């Protein structure tokens, strides 16, 4: 499996500001994803980060709110824009290896918006 790191691990932000979360993998991976996990809830896919092209967003998530970059096969960023308290959540990076089946998660970024 790949070693996945995320920065920051947690942050407390003010309403109306933006936060960029970084995801770094120790090896090249085919697929990178961003998930949100609200307290006590399951994992919800925000988008698939595509290398060299625009991310593919799931229903309910838009690029203006969650811009994503993936400049290469080992790194991606997710920005949470114009934050509100409803954005308080854990944001997880995930990668797929081994031909795209097995999927592993980063440690997550715990975001609190005041």
Partner 1 sequence: GENVEQHPSTLSVQEGDSAVIKCTYSDSASNYFPWYKQELGKRPQLIIDIRSNVGEKKDQRIAVTLNKTAKHFSLHITETQPEDSAVYFCAARTATGANNLFFGTGTRLTVIP
In the complex, which residues of this chain contact partner 1 (CB under 8 A)? Answer: 1, 33, 41-45, 48, 56, 58, 92, 100-108
Q: How far is the CB of 101 from partner 1 (least distance, A)?
A: 5
Burial class (CB within 10 angstroms; exposed 0-12, middle 13-18, buried 19+) of 16: exposed
Q: Rounded to the nearest whole angstrom, what is the least distance from the CB of residue 113 to partner 1 in the complex?
A: 19
3-state secondary structure of 93: strand
CB of 93 to partner 1, least distance (A): 10
Under 8 Å between Cβ of 80 and 47: no
């Amino acid at each position: 499996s790949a070693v996945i790191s995320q920065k920051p691990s947690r942050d407390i932000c003010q309403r109306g500001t933006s936060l960029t979360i970084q995801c770094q993998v120790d090896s090249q991976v085919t697929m990178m994803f961003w998930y949100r996990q609200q307290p006590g809830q399951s994992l919800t896919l925000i988008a698939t980060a595509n290398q060299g092209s625009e991310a593919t967003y799931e229903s309910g998530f838009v690029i203006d709110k969650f811009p994503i970059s993936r400049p290469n096969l080992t790194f991606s960023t997710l920005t949470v824009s114009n934050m509100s308290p409803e954005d308080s959540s854990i944001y997880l990076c995930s990668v797929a290896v081994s031909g795209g089946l097995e999927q592993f998660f980063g440690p997550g970024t715990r975001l609190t918006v005041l």
